[in-house]
Amino acid sequence: MSKITFLGAGSTIFAKNVLGDSMTVPALQDFEFALFDIDYERLKDSETMLKNLKKNLNSSVNIVVYTDRKEALRGAKYVINAIQVGGYDPSTIIDFEVPKKYGLRQTIADTVGVGGIFRSLRTIPVMMDFAKDMQEVCPDAWFLNYTNPMAVLTGTMQRYGGIKTVGLCHSVQVCADHLLKDLDMPADNVQWKIAGINHMAWLLEISRNGKDLYPEIKKRALERQKTTHDDMIRYELMQRFGYYVTESSEHNAEYHPYFIKSSYPELIDRFNIPLDEYPRRCVNQIEEWKEMRENLINDKDLTHKRTYEYGSYIMEAMETDVPIKIGGNVLNTGGLISNLPDKACVEVPCMVDASGVAPTTVELPEQLAALNRTNINTQLLTIEAAMTQKKEHIYQAAMLDPHTSAELSIDDIVSLCDDLIEAHGDWLPTYK
């Protein structure tokens, strides 16, 4: 029996989406769904939910819970990664509260910035352990990474893990529809092209029935900016740099040096920036889960419709050899995007079939590549820090981060990093 292993299967709602999707795919029937999580209670919740789903979808998959990670991975053909090392408490709280003492404010803190750097540093060792286990018990498996920071973690696996890896994020496939809906424009018969880096990929082309939609999009966006809304950062970036970016405004507010500035506090209201957004979401999700758990876990009539998450479509394409196109995060080997570094993890159109994931080459306008490089600098130094365990590279990653360096002095950046290292304690390896 072929096996799909889900690491972080206690993420019950996400497991429902990806594994529920997979239950609807004929080519994935009779697979074993191997569930693993370090939180046994949440793991058993997911098992109960998935077994209800299996029955109601008339699926023939076999759902198995594992408490031994290596055994969960043994013989796997596909491995789905959806872990969060350190969780909301203590790690996310630390990532937000310690920088606040230095006057450094964040919105999401899961990609770059000091929050993204330290989320990477506590997650990379765990993923390297995954890679070591996989090399031993399922060396030919595909590793489908959904965990953030996407570019850093996927890039680390691709450069150092020795495992076939692709990073997946749904911001690509929802980007064009979100934009057109927000501007009251029809979304049928629309073609688009997206490339860049994860959370900062660019809508390079968008057309409907062969007609370029960008002139009308920019006209409507300019009018939209006259009133407060939730996408003001992206529209501002589009106005200044020419193209719409895939990830949300609350994310992009902290990827650039222009928007969250203690010396210009009025920018927060002007661009409707939700500071501390991610901790609020975490608290709300924890409370909502308490109410949702009973209905989701014990609903004997629970059903599911296939979502837009790429995971099941990738596995289906590899099993059937019927090609699909995805937006995948892959290593920029050979200059897939020629004006970005080869070591960068880039997000580009990829074809997927039985032979694997085949990325395509894309040329970015120079101003977009320049913006990407400002984030890639921090990503590459974060990987360097994790793999060498040298503090100096943590400092350098933070010094090169656009938002952090725009707000703090070099001395304060070093001091902040030291405070974060101390606060995270055993969640991090020892740095020299």
199 has binding-site annotation: yes
SS (H, E, C) the chain: CCEEEEECCCCHHHHHHHHHHHHCCHHHCCCEEEEECCCHHHHHHHHHHHHHHHHHCCCCCEEEEECCHHHHHCCCCEEEECCCCCHHHHHHHHHHHHHHCCCCCCCCCCCCHHHHHHHHHHHHHHHHHHHHHHHHHCCCCEEEECCCCHHHHHHHHHHHHCCEEEECCCHHHHHHHHHHHHCCCCCCCEEEEEEEECCEEEEEEEEECCEECHHHHHHHHHHHCCCCCCCHHHHHHHHHHCCEECCCHHHHCCCCCCCCCCCCCHHHHHCCCCCCHHHHHHHHHHHHHHHHHHHHHCCCCCCCCCCCCCHHHHHHHHHHCCCEEEEEEEECCCCCECCCCCCCEEEEEEEEECCEEEECCECCCHHHHHHHHHHHHHHHHHHHHHHHCCHHHHHHHHHHCHHHHHHCCHHHHHHHHHHHHHHHHHHCCCCC
**pLDDT at res. 48:** 96
Average pLDDT estimate for 172-181: 98
* pLDDT value of position 290: 86
pTM (two decimals): 0.98
* Residue 230 scores a pLDDT above 90: yes
pLDDT given at position 1 = 79
Q: What confidence score (pLDDT) does residue 176 get?
A: 98
Number of C-alpha atoms within 13 angstroms, CB side, residue 405?
15
Give the C-alpha separation, 112 to 127, whole Å: 18
User: How far apart (Å, rounded) are the C-alpha atoms in residues 283 and 199?
Assistant: 23
Region 386-405: what's the mean pLDDT? 98
Kindly state the percentage of the chain with pLDDT values over 90.
98
170 in active site: yes
Residue 113 · residue 275 · CB < 8 Å? no
Q: Which of 181, 265, 254 is nearest to 406 (CA)?
A: 254
Mean pLDDT of 147-151: 98
Q: How would you classify residue 127: left for phi > 0, otherwise alpha for psi between -120 and 50, otherwise beta? A: alpha
Return the residue matching tokens 């365990």.
389
| CB burial of residue 219 (10 Å; 0-12, 13-18, 19+) | exposed
In whole angstroms, what is the distance from residue 327 CA to residue 357 CA?
10
* CA 413 from centroid of its chain's CA atoms: 25
Phi then psi for residue 129, to 5 deg, are -65, -40
For residue 31, pLDDT beyond 90: yes
pLDDT of residue 71: 98
- What's the Cα-to-Cα distance from 34 to each of 30, 130, 232, 235, 377, rounded to whole Å? 12, 15, 42, 43, 37
For residue 36, list its beta bridge partners. 7, 66
Give the pLDDT confidence score for residue 417 in this predicted structure: 98
Name the catalytic one among 170, 251, 304, 424: 170
Cβ burial, residue 41 (10 Å; 0-12/13-18/19+) = exposed
Q: Could you tell me what percent of the chain has a pLDDT over 70?
A: 100
Over residues 137-161, the mean pLDDT reads: 98
- Using one digit for the tens of pLDDT, what is the confidence trace for 57-92? 999 999 999 999 999 999 999 999 999 999 999 999
169 is in an annotated binding site: yes
Does the structure show a pLDDT above 90 at 298? Answer: no
Confidence of residue 111 (pLDDT cuts 50, 70, 90): very high
pLDDT for 295 equals 86
- Region 211-234: what's the mean pLDDT? 98
Spatial distance between the Cα atoms of 342 and 332, rounded to a whole number of angstroms = 5
21 pLDDT above the threshold of 90: yes
Domain residues of the chain, as ranges?
Answer: 3-167
pLDDT of residue 175: 98
CATH homologous superfamily of 3-167: NAD(P)-binding Rossmann-like Domain (3.40.50.720)
Burial class of residue 130, CB neighbours in 10 A (0-12, 13-18, 19+): buried
Q: What is the pLDDT of residue 246?
A: 98
- Write the CB contacts of 12 (distance below 8 Å, at least 6 apart in sequence): 42, 45, 46, 49, 296, 297
Residue 148 annotated as lining a ligand binding site: yes
